[in-house]
Homo-oligomer: A and B are copies of this chain.
Amino acid sequence: MSGRQSGRPTLEQVAARAGVGRGTVSRVINGSPRVSEQTRTAVARAVAELGYVPNQAARALAGSRTDAIALVIPEAEARLFAEPYFLDLIRGVSAELAEADKQLLLTLVRSEQERQRFEQYLAAQRVDGVLLASVHGDDPLPDRIRELGLPVVMNGRRTEAEPVPYVDSDNIGAGRAAVAHLVGRGRSRIATITGPFDMYVARARLGGYRAGLTEAGIPPDETLVSAGDFTEEGGRRAMRELLDRRPDLDAVFAASDVMAAGVRGVLREAGRRVPEDVALVGVDDSPVARLMDPPLTSVRQPIEEMGRTMARMLIREIHESTEAAPVEPRRHVLPTELIVRESS
């Protein structure tokens, strides 16, 4: 009737051709050791001759696992982040999943309605686990998914004490490294432009900034801190405030490259040279940083590596959830790296 998959061979047919039973073919396909070498070869030949590929739906139904995982990206955040962020993350996740022979289901969540629909998908048992990119401080999704009994790994965390397994980069170290570098360049009136405080990443980078100052023997000064929102326009706004309040500043640590681009524009308009008058450091090491004039010193995060680590962790969680082994929540914090360019 449907024509399309009419000719596709089944396990049964492979079994018949190899002169063995269904169970045996299944064992060979799934790499069970309980098969004689001779039988294995015979089955392998039949599989090759017929071009057999196991039907995924049947496998999922009988075995209650899908060999697929979902990666959820909240649309709102997708626009905030330095653009290649999510693509790099996807790249890492995808590479690791390919090695494990698992599929990646990508879900962009645009609205509350879509979030609910996504929960339906999860309930329909389409995936074995979930990867969450960029969660806000009060995001209920991670907990909801766990209630459904699905393993989850997040990128970043919601709070200092995050109960859900996650992979994060060392954002405190990022702030600290930036400040140490600026101090090393002889700067002492170092300002910072932060992200929104409902995101842990923003608080962490600010914390690192303060720690860096303290370590250098410079007392942190709140008049040198201005809140941005990770957008270029937010960076501009925060920089103007800063310039009003502290015209004597000699360096700025912007918590993202995109904000640093805004800062750079304001400095140009104000007639301040970079780096001579004001040194500038961003975070992300995005393509934007390389193309800025002058090229921007920036703290690099190992985004692709974070993706890989997340996928690895999730796969392990999936394994262990089957074995019902109770495991303490895992966390990984990957190191960041300062990339020095001409802006500092």
Q: What separation, in Å, do the CA atoms of A130 and B68 have in the docked complex?
A: 17
The reply to whether B123 and A8 contact each other, CB–CB distance below 8 Å, is yes
A-to-B contact residues, CB < 8 Å: 2-5, 8, 51, 53-58, 60-61, 64, 66, 68, 71, 75, 78, 83-84, 86-87, 90-91, 94-95, 98, 101, 103-108, 110, 114, 117, 120-121, 123-126, 149-150, 261, 287-288, 291-293, 321-322, 324
Residues from chain B with a CB closer than 8 A to the CB of A293 are: 293
Interfacial chain B residues near A58, Cβ < 8 Å: 57, 61
By a CB distance below 8 angstroms, the chain B residues around A107 are 94, 103-104
Is A104 a contact partner of B103 (Cβ separation < 8 A)? no
Q: A261 touches which one: B68, B71, B120, B291 (CB < 8 A)?
A: B291
Q: Which one, B56, B75, B120, B322, contacts A91 given CB within 8 A?
A: B75
**Chain B residue nearest to A98 in the complex (CB):** B114
**Cα separation A149 to B8 with both chains bound (whole Å):** 11
Minimum CB–CB distance from A67 to chain B (whole Å) comes to: 9
B90-A106 in contact (CB<8A): yes
- Choose one: B53, B120, B121, B288; the contact of A124 (CB below 8 Å): B53
